[in-house]
Amino acid sequence: MLFLRDVGSTEVGGFGLTNPQDLLFVEDFVMVQQVCSAVTVAFDDDSVAEFFDQQIDAGRRPETFGRVWIHSHPGTSAEPSNVDEETFARVFGRSDWAVMAILARGGQTYARLQYHVGPGGSLQIPVAVDWSQPFEATDWTAWQQEYVDNVRRDGPLRGGTFDKIRTSHAVTEFLTDHEWLLQTEKGMS
C-alpha cells in the first residue's frame, strides 16, 4: 500500500484481503480498475463486480475481501472527506460491519469500524503493521505493474500519450513524477 500510494501522483484505492480467523488483519491489498486524480479515486463498477467474482471463485467469503475499503490521500491528512463518508455510508451501510481505512501521503492513518448489528455503532481503530506475521518479499515490478494496469488518470493529463509513456517505462524503469512529467512533455511535443 505504501508503494502504491507513492508510485504515482494520484490517490489510489482498493480492498483489504483479511485473515478469515482475524477479520481486521489485512494480509493483502488488492486494487481494482479505477479513475484517479491527485485528489480523487473512483472505482470502476465492472471491475468491482469482477473482483467479487474472482474472490468467490478463489474460495473466499465476502467478509474477508469486501469489508475493508482502503484508499490514500495526498498531503498529510487522513481524515475522511464528505465524499468518503457518503461512500462509506451508502456502499457499506448495509453490511454487518465494514472498515474505512485511509493512508495519507504524509504517513497519517485513519481507520474506522462501523457495525450494524445490535444497536450498531462506529469507532476509530488503531492501525499498525504486525511484523510478527509472515509476509511475501518486496516485488516492486509487480506492484508497479498493478498500478499501471489499474489506474487511469483523470484530468487534463489523462490517457493517450501520458499513459503510454508511463506504461512503456512501467516494468523496466521507475520514474519519479518529475521524470515522468518531463518524458511526457517530450513525448507530446
Binding-site string for another protein from residue 128 to residue 167, where x marks contact by CB under 8 A and - marks none: ----------------------------------------
Interface with another protein, residue 8, by CB under 8 A: no
Does 73 participate in binding another protein (rule CB under 8 A)? yes
**Shortest separation between residue 69's beta carbon and another protein, angstroms:** 7
Q: How far is CA 41 from CA 9, 88, 132, 135, in A?
A: 12, 14, 32, 27
Binding to another protein by residue 177, rule CB under 8 A?
Answer: no
Gyration radius from the chain CA atoms: 17
Residues across the chain:
189
Instruction: Estimate to the nearest angstrom the gap between the alpha carbon of 129 and the chain centroid.
Output: 17
Q: Which residues contact 139 (CB under 8 A, 6 or more apart)?
A: none
With CB under 8 A, what is the number of residues at the site for another protein? 40
The residue assigned the cell 500510494 is 5
Q: Indicate which single residue of 28, 30, 33, 74 sits in contact with another protein (rule: CB under 8 A).
A: 74
Residue 76 beta carbon to another protein: minimum distance, rounded to whole angstroms: 10
Considering only residues 45 through 64, tell me which ones interact with another protein, judged by CB under 8 A: 45-46, 48-50, 52-53, 56, 61-63
Q: Which three cell numbers stand for residue 118?
A: 445490535
Could you give the CA distance from residue 116 to residue 11 in angstroms, rounded to a whole number?
29
Nearest to 35 by CA among 24, 25, 45: 45
Give the SS3 label for residue 22.
strand
Q: Who contacts 173 (Cβ-Cβ below 8 Å, separation ≥6)? A: none
Q: Which is nearer to another protein, 28 or 161 (CB)?
A: 28
Asked if 75 interacts with another protein (CB under 8 A), we say: yes
Residue closer to another protein, measured from CB, 98 or 165: 98
Using CB under 8 A as the criterion, which residues of the chain lie in contact with another protein when the complex forms? Answer: 11, 13, 39-43, 45-46, 48-50, 52-53, 56, 61-63, 66-67, 69, 71, 73-75, 77, 79-84, 87, 90-92, 94-96, 102
